[in-house]
Amino acid sequence: MNATARLATVASRPERVGLGVMLALSIGAIALGAGWVEGPSAAVVAGAMLASVVGLVLVAFVGGLETRRALAPYGLLKPGILWLSLFFLAPLWSMVVMSLSSKESRFDFFPSFTWEWGNYRTALTDFRPQFLRSFGYAAVATVLTILVGFPLAYVIAFRGGKYRNVLLGLVVVPFFTSYLIRTLAWGNILADEGPVVSFIDSLGLTGVLESLNIMDNGKLLNTPAAVIGGLTYNFLPFMVLPIYVSLEKIDPRLVDAAMDLYSSASAAFRKIVVPLALPGIFAGSLLVFIPAAGDFVNAQFLGNPQTTMIGNSIQDQFLRQLNYPVASAMSFVLMFIITIAVLVYTKFMGTEDLA
């Protein structure tokens, strides 16, 4: 088969060309991002990516109907795939390599790849308390956001009336302020001489809260409760908004129908509203739990030396100890555990049947 014939055969299967080009380019993007190619060859790879986009645009204008149809999925996928290859897969690959590398000296900036599985052992043994604490805090914060967020979303969806959008806006508005500033502000609010502690003192509840382990030695700031509270506050909108979206879609006549069939109000709530809101709770839980488990800001500003979370440890290993291999291994362990947790959660809470 000569070259022209071969080209003709290939051209007759445009979807294969599309798939091939896309895969080749995403490998190219990873190569670019992971630093395998540099200088002129990097320019060639970047040029090829640009050319493929231009080629697709050309095909969209001049190609035949069949070709266009066959290529459309790849054209639509390509921007996302290339973006993720360059900014997600490539860094991920660099981190895999780093997490299995070892440093010759402390300030060695180019650790060499040595299959150093010990990094993972260090990550799991030395930082076990921080891992456990992070997942514990994140789980409690997730439950608290459901307890606070569900009634809030319920009221906005069913009782908000014409003020619905205003109320939703009010949920979101505080989050136009920087995350850091809001967390620091909580430091002021919870301070020993601050309003909350004085209020609790004047009610004489300090002893009660201390026995519940919420306060410690008369203080609220720099306790586990403050860290969990900060997480709950900071991630609350991520719970309220998805639950609101689920609730808002519920037809109120379903509840009416249940009542007509002699259901009590609470049974109607349990058997109709809650199941229909589950997709929102499910999505909200993921949106809260995942970032909360990796958070380091709340533990840093509202916690004490015994409340550090895994995010703080990773930051410390990266930026202060300059221990990139162990820090990368810790990041991977964190990602791995979260992925497993999410998969298990999806298995038991999965909403495919409900949707």
Partner 1 sequence: MAAKLNRRQFLIRSGMAGAGALSLPALLAACGGDDGGGGNSLFFENWPEYIDSETVALFAKASGVKFKYTDAYNDNNEYFAKVQPLLAKGEKIKADVIAPTFWMASRFVQLGWAQKLPVNKIPNMANLRDDLKGQPWDKDQEYNLPWQTGVAGIAYNVKETGRELGSVEDLFDPAFKGKIGMLTEMRDTMGLVLMGLGKNISQISTFDDAVEAFDKVEKAKNDGQIRAFTGNEYLKPLSAGDFAACVGWSGDVLQLGKDNPNVKFIIPEEGGTSWFDTMIWVTGSENGDAVAKWMDYCYDPVNAARITASVQYMSPVKGVQEELVKLGGEAAALADNPLLFPDEATVARLQSWGALSEEEEAKFDEAFAAITGA
Q: Which amino acid does the sequence have at 207?
A: G
| Smallest distance from partner 1 to CB 316, Å | 3
| Smallest distance from partner 1 to CB 288, Å | 24
Q: Look at the block and give the residue holding tokens 């604490």.
A: 133
Q: How far apart are CA 235 and CA 175, in angstroms?
A: 10
By CB under 8 A, name the one of 2, 4, 105, 266 that touches partner 1. Answer: 105
Q: How far apart are CA 176 and CA 169, in angstroms?
A: 11
| Smallest distance from partner 1 to CB 192, Å | 5
By CB under 8 A, name the one of 61, 80, 115, 193 that touches partner 1. Answer: 193
**SS3 at position 219:** strand
| Smallest distance from partner 1 to CB 301, Å | 9
| Smallest distance from partner 1 to CB 296, Å | 9
Q: Which amino acid does the sequence have at 291?
A: P
| Smallest distance from partner 1 to CB 222, Å | 5
User: Inter-axis angle of helices 224-248 and 128-154, to 10 degrees?
Assistant: 40
Site for partner 1 in 290-349 (CB under 8 A): 303-308, 312-313, 315-322
Structure tokens at 89: 């897969």
Q: How far apart are CA 18 and CA 60, in angstroms?
A: 13
By CB under 8 A, name the one of 68, 164, 182, 219 that touches partner 1. Answer: 219
To 5 degrees, how large is the angle CA 129–CA 131–CA 137?
Answer: 95
Give the nearer residue to partner 1 in terms of CB position, either 41 or 306.
Answer: 306
Site for partner 1 in 198-217 (CB under 8 A): 216-217
Q: Tell me the per-residue interface mask from 227 to 256 with partner 1, x by CB under 8 A, - otherwise.
A: ------------------------------
By CB under 8 A, name the one of 39, 61, 106, 348 that touches partner 1. Answer: 106
Q: Tell whether residue 110 is a contact of partner 1 (CB under 8 A).
A: yes
CA distances in angstroms from 90 to 17, 30, 82, 260, listed in the order given? 24, 5, 11, 59
By CB under 8 A, name the one of 37, 143, 171, 191 that touches partner 1. Answer: 191
Which of 279, 274, 281, 282 has the alpha carbon at shortest distance from 258? Answer: 274
Return phi, psi of residue 305, to 5°: -60, -15
Question: Which residues of this protein are in contact with partner 1, per CB under 8 A?
Answer: 105-107, 109-110, 187-188, 191-194, 216-217, 219, 221-222, 303-308, 312-313, 315-322
